[in-house]
Amino acid sequence: MNFTQIGKPLKRYDAAAKVTGKAKYAGDFHVRDMLIGKIYRSTIAHGYVKKIDISKAKALPGVVAVITFNDTPDIKYPTAGHPYSTDPKHQDIADRQILTNHVRFYGDEIAAVVAENDLIAREALRLIEVEYEELPVVLTVEDALANDAPEIHKGTKNIVGKMNYEFGNVEEGFAKADFVVENEFETQTVQHCAMENHVSYAYVDAQDRLTVVSSTQIPHVVRRIIGQAFEMPVHKIRVIKPYIGGGFGAKQDSCIEPLNAALTLAAGGKPVLLDLDREESIIGTRVRHAVKYKIKTGVTKDGKMIAREVSLETAKGAYASHGISPVAKQGTAFIQMYTTPNVKFDMISVYSNAPVAGAMRGYGIPQINYALESHVDDVAAKIGMDPTDFRKLNQVKEGDADPKTKLKILSCGLEECIDKGKELINWDEKRKKYANQTGDIRRGVGMAEFCYGSGTYPVCLEIAGARIVLRPDGSILMQVGATEIGQGSDTVFSQMAAEVLGISTDQVYLESTTDSDTTPFDTGAYASRQTYVSGAAVKKAALECKSRIFEAVKKRKEIAVEKLDIKDSQIIEKNSGKVVMSLADLAMDTYYSRENSNPISVDVYNQTKSNALAFGVTFTEVEVDIKTGTIDVIEIYNVHDSGTIMNRQLAEGQVHGGMSMGMGYALTEELKLHPETGKTLNNNLLDYKLPTMMDTPDLGVEFVETYEPTGPFGNKSLGEPPAITPAPAIRNAVLNATGVSFTRLPMNTQRVFEKFKETGLI
Amino acid sequence: MSDVLKKITFTLNGKERTVEVDVRKSLLDVLRDDLELTGSKKGCEVGECGACAVMINGESIDSCIYLAVWVDGKEVRTIEGIEKDGKLSEMQQAFVDEGAIQCGFCTAGLVVSATALEERGEKMSKDEMKKELSGHLCRCTGYHNIASAVDKVINK
Amino acid sequence: MYDFNKYFEAETLDEAKKILKENPNAQIVAGGSDILVEIREKHIEGLELMGIHKIKELKEISIDSEGTISIGCMATFHMLENNEIITKHIPMLGRAGGVVGGPQLRKVATIGGNIANGAVSADTATSVWAYNSQLVLESADGNRTIDVKDFYLGPGWTDVKQNEILTKILIKKEDYEGFSGEYIKFSQRKALDIANLGCAVICKLDGNKFSDVRIALGVAGPVPIRCKTAEDYAKGLEVTEENINEIGKKAVLDGKPRDSWRASKAYRQQLIEICSQRALTKAAQLAGGK
């Protein structure tokens, strides 16, 4: 494909605003007399509030309001950033109240205060007196399913959901296999740690409408959720998203907005800022599911996997949030990656008295991919095959269909990704060199591969809106419902519109703010859907705008629309290239013509009914310090097939960030709870170990560009995938270095030490 | 509580300012809330993320754990004071050109620290430079393009 | 906003002593990077703070005619890293200062604060102890100088009275001349972290034999410690890999680490052994050992 704008390394349109400090985030607005909201959080993990006394807090000078669960509506609502389902059976679980007297995790929200400043608000919190009736703390799947387990949500038996299915017959497959390999794996709880915490402010505007300005990935969905929480029609609610400081899934959930709305209502509609601190953001928003796996593969002597089975369980925390979706989705990745005739998937998700697991970059796939790709290396080792050859023999390719959805793979560059990765890391030579090492410092190379969908079809609705207005000077104003959260979607949308319309990107004006009142509907930034799904809406809008332009030209110049094109903002005759008129002249005339005044404005929606798998690999080299258990990543490369790359520089940036997150997942990040009280032990950035610049080596990125026919420009997902494979690749490199098969994340030095002790290396 | 108010005089982005501050406020609070300079961000409030970094007498510090009264008599530069003659500085331009910006929340602090480094006028290895910037957390970029941008300017 | 009632700005050392004496709720805030974080975490009833930023003499690093090095309490880690007296005579302390937290923190956080608050993870405490430092405590009621070995009373508890200021740290010539040293901070990250184990080792050689070895550990017990058993054992031994390995094993006998969610006792013991060995190996190399 020859593109004029797509693929160009266009600079972010918002870069200058961000590099000068001018970009305004939700916490940056100076509204007159802004009040401060603070949350009273439980100091137990499970139980009921027997008694609460807020009289002293209320009496404190400077306190405007104190509210408890007695003051908020007795309504249960869902929080997940999913499109609403008109089918009641497919709706998100409604198990949340704005404030609660049933404490379900350490830090649950019981009461809240509004005060003139943060010091007074904090003092007011100290003056609230609470007596609890404590219940046993449930932290594991086993605890949750015990016969005498207390119910975290009444009537659920602590089960959020289960799912299982089988294609073929795995028992028969295992019986026919030459070898059967079984492993157990375990992943940890991690947190998104977007640099901007969850923050919003809310007020009642002059038209008596509840307005919430929030750092959210899903402004339109948040409006609906606030409506559900108050049983209030959506026309009474307005949600605005300004610049946002990262989300990664924790802001694909309505964590704070309903409470913020309740606080402004309690304060007579005055503006109230609800700015979570880091400690609250870590425990009180969302985390990634920690999952345990039992995984089993039957393989023939010549390396064909003929039966695979995985069973997984997760204790997902105090509220349903996204329900079973981030766990159920793991089955798709498990089945899709390798074409095995007999596959079986089984999962259970239970409530526990822990911070709430929800969406996080990769939506469950980093977990299953760690288990699967670690296991696959162990299987390859069992039959003595090179892990890349083994994968090539078993993995999906173009033309294969998902056994469950029947969707066919129409583009697949996975094999080329592997070849490229091998070359970058110098695979063959190093695998040999590192085969049999001794000594305290050892090196190894490892890899892992993934596949990942683009959007949520066919499980969920995929709908996106775009609006284009041709302005009098021939430039366009574009509004998209999709949410720019730092990933660069707005910049890429401007390239798409410019591509279709034959104009340059500086003629496309986009506003980063999303306003539920004025921007078209879109479900938001998640599922790596925006270039694929929202991009299709942008393309459709641009095409419609173009045809409206040609109609307008036809009216004026009597040239058939099919003979027209636009190049460099000039309307030309397609064959001769002769300029008919400038787009600016036409635009001006559409506004001010005495005969034909009809300015061009298009407003379209596009429902996507396809999905495309993106593919990719991580290759890495590690150095292991046997005596201290330290793993250093020396070299790391991600190679991706995301179809057409829309903007190489932004795409590389997405990959870098995912790789860094994946390395943290592999080595240092873990949210730890006290095993008895359920209190989070490390909810701060000192004890929760995000990688620093010194921990991060140079990050190598390559793309294998395929053309995906269902993507608006041949493109597929890229946002989440880069975070998936670093952890298993590092794990497999450690296997290559030491011969030790790790089964648990993170591989922090303590755990590596223990494993080396256990296996006799120390 | 008049004994919590104190008048201080300092240079802010090149201009002398005299302001009455609440002694209990951090420099970050005063910049953001009193002076409406919101480019410096609040990411952790304990000096662990660097989003609030500003320059004091040419050196980058975390303004969240620095009392505002301490800037009395000193020179403070924030992200709002990095541009030169209304144009992006070389360092800012390098951040733009190298794709070192994503969500932008860590950007201000990093640009301030990188500018302090640039103004020291020393060339340094990539590892030395990484150490100098290691007081900033970024969750979007994996630091790769940030390191390239800073390297490009200080080792030109 | 930080939760305290009053702020005093001491312009001179005498004034600082006077303020402390007259205001029993007043606490010193040096760089602020510890106490401000602490105040944010918990309400301290009646707290008042006294800043000592403006007292120039507290920032001085000097060496007198007898070779005693004096480090003012308000010397920041950044100053330690870059000061010529330190990098020339006691470079290990400079390097330890260079691995505290992150660069912005090192510009404000001070050695006085690091030592006075008694944190077991304090990166400079081990070096200060390995060099057998003396600590000068001044107050309106008089001054006293105590050995670092008598300074730590318990976890987060040191022998600084409310009315006293730890004004300077003294290191005598005999405690650094001829010594080479290495500090290993073992942590999960290469920056912005606290140590799982801090290990400061200095040694002096006589030919290829250890004539003096000092091993100081942080996070190996309730307070920073010295490894007496290992140090005594080391004296007079030839510099060999086997001997160094054995010295590391002896250091484990001196450590009193405990299990915590950050690291287990067994793992910390492993780190004591390995880090002592590695630091001593490096120190011996720097001292010209073979």
Instruction: Assign 3-class secondary structure to A622-677.
Output: EEEECCCCEEEEEEEEEEEECECCCEHHHHHHHHHHHHHHHHHHHHCCCCCECCCC
Complete DSSP assignment for A307-358? EEEEEEEEE--SS-TTTTHHHHHHHHHHHHHB--SEEEEEEEEE--SSSPB-
Q: Which helix (H) or strand (E) holds C79?
A: helix C77-82
pLDDT digit string, tens, across residues A353-392:
999 999 999 999 999 999 999 999 999 999 999 999 999 9
Position A92 pLDDT exceeds 70? yes
The reply to whether residue B47 touches residue C1, judged by beta carbons under 8 angstroms, is no
Q: What percent of chain A has pLDDT over 90?
A: 98
In this prediction, residues C5-23 reach a mean pLDDT of 97
Domain span(s) for CATH 1.10.150.120 in chain B: 90-154
Tell me how far apart the alpha carbons of residues C123 and C93 are, in angstroms, rounded to a whole number: 9
Does the domain spanning B2-78 belong to CATH 3.10.20.30? yes
Query: Which segments of A251-323 does DSSP mark as H helices, in order?
Result: 257-266, 278-284
Residues 6 or more apart whose CB falls under 8 angstroms from that of A426 comprise: none
Inter-chain touch A762–C186, beta carbons under 8 Å? no
CATH fold of A31-135+195-246+251-284 reads: Aldehyde Oxidoreductase; domain 3 (3.90.1170)
Mean pLDDT of C10-17: 97
- B119 vs A29: CA distance, rounded Å: 32
The domain ranges of chain C are 6-50, 58-175, 180-286
pLDDT-derived band at B133, boundaries 50, 70, 90: very high
Give every CB contact of residue A651 below 8 A, 6+ residues apart in sequence.
Answer: A642, A645, A701, A703, A718
Q: Which CATH topology does A15-22+463-607 take?
A: Aldehyde Oxidoreductase; domain 4 (3.30.365)
- pLDDT mean over A238-254: 98
In this prediction, residue A249 has a pLDDT band, given cuts at 50, 70 and 90, of very high
Cα–Cα distance measured from residue A546 to residue A538, given in angstroms and rounded to the nearest whole number:
12
Neighbours of chain C (3+ CB pairs under 8 A): A, B
Model confidence over A153-209: pLDDT tens digits? 999 999 999 999 999 999 999 999 999 999 999 999 999 999 999 999 999 999 999
Q: Give per-residue pLDDT as tens, A655-675.
A: 999 999 999 999 999 999 999
Q: How many angstroms separate the CA of residue C50 from the nearest CA in chain B?
A: 11
**Contact (CB<8Å) C7/B6:** yes
ipTM above 0.95, yes or no: yes
Average pLDDT, chain C: 96
Q: Are A463 and A606 in contact (CB under 8 A)?
A: yes
What is the C-alpha separation between A391 and A381, in angstroms, rounded?
Answer: 12
Tell me whether domains C58-175 and C180-286 share a fold: no
pLDDT (average), residues A455-478: 97
Average pLDDT over residues C219-246: 97
Q: Which helix (H) or strand (E) holds A735?
A: helix A726-738
CATH architecture of the domain C180-286 equals 2-Layer Sandwich (3.30)
pLDDT tier at C247 (50, 70, 90 boundaries)?
very high
Which residues, other chains included, contact C45 with Cβ-Cβ below 8 Å and sequence gap of 6+?
none
Count how many pairs of residues, chain B against chain C, have C-beta atoms within 8 Å: 82
| Residue B148 to chain A, least CA–CA distance (Å) | 10
Find chain C residues with C-beta within 8 A of A43's C-beta.
none
Which residues in chain C have Cβ-Cβ distances shorter than 8 Å to B113?
A: 103-104
Per the CB < 8 A criterion, the answer to whether A718 and A612 are in contact is no
Query: For chain A, where do the domains classified as CATH 3.30.365.10 start and end?
Result: 15-22+463-607, 381-456+611-758
Domain with CATH 3.10.20.30 in chain B: 2-78
Search chain C and give the residue with CA nearest B24: C2
Q: Does domain B90-154 have CATH number 3.10.450.200?
A: no
C224: left (phi over 0), alpha (psi -120 to 50) or beta: beta
Q: Edge to edge, what strands does the sheet with B59-62 contain? A: B15-22, B5-12, B75-77, B53-56, B59-62
Q: Which residue has the tokens 């943060």?
A: A118
Query: Which residue in C9, C53, C191 is closest to B135 by CB distance?
Result: C191
Q: Where in chain A is the domain with CATH 3.90.1170.50?
A: 31-135+195-246+251-284
C280 residue type, one letter: L
Q: Is A31 on the interface with B (CB under 8 A)?
A: no
- CB A668 to CB C262 under 8 A? no
pLDDT exceeds cutoff 50 at C183: yes
Tell me the CATH number for domain C58-175. 3.30.465.10
Average pLDDT for A459-475: 97
Q: How confident is the model at residue A520 (pLDDT cuts 50, 70, 90)?
A: very high
Mean pLDDT, residues B35-45 taken together: 97
B53 has a pLDDT exceeding 70: yes
Q: Are the beta carbons of B144 and A686 separated by less than 8 Å? A: no
CA atoms within 13 A on the CB side of B24: 18
pLDDT of A30 = 85
For domain A381-456+611-758, is the CATH number 3.30.565.10?
no
Using CB atoms, which residue from A627, A749, A762 is nearest to C188?
A749
Q: Is the pLDDT of residue B2 over 60?
A: no
Q: What does the alpha-carbon distance between residue B51 and residue A196 come to, in Å, rounded to a whole number?
A: 9
**Structure tokens, A576:** 């001769």
The number of CA neighbours under 13 Å toward the Cβ of C42 is 5
Q: Which residues of A406-441 are buried (b: 16+ CB within 10 A; e: fewer)?
A: ebebbbbbbbbbbbbbbebbebeebbeebeebeeee
Longest dimension (CA), chain B: 53
Give the residue, B68 or C290, on which the prediction is more confident: B68
Query: Distance from B90 to chain A by nearest Cα, in Å?
Result: 11
CB pair distance less than 8 Å for C192 and B137: yes
**Average pLDDT of the residues of chain A:** 97
Q: Shortest CB distance from B50 goes to which of C9, C104, C190?
A: C104
At residue B1, does pLDDT exceed 50? no
pTM over 0.90: yes
C-alpha distances (whole Å) from A114 to each of A263, A702, B65 are 7, 51, 25
Residue A735's identity, in one-letter code, is L
pLDDT, one tens digit per residue, over A718-757 is 999 999 999 999 999 999 999 999 999 999 999 999 999 9
Residue among A195, A246, A660 whose CB faces B143 most closely: A660
**A749 with C3: Cβ contact below 8 A:** no
Confidence of residue A436 (pLDDT cuts 50, 70, 90): confident
Residues C56-83, mean pLDDT to the nearest whole number: 98
Report whether pLDDT(A472) > 80. yes
State the DSSP code for A80: B
In this prediction, residues A62-83 reach a mean pLDDT of: 97
CA atoms of A182 and B26, how far apart (whole Å): 56
Is residue A2 pLDDT above 90, yes or no?
A: no
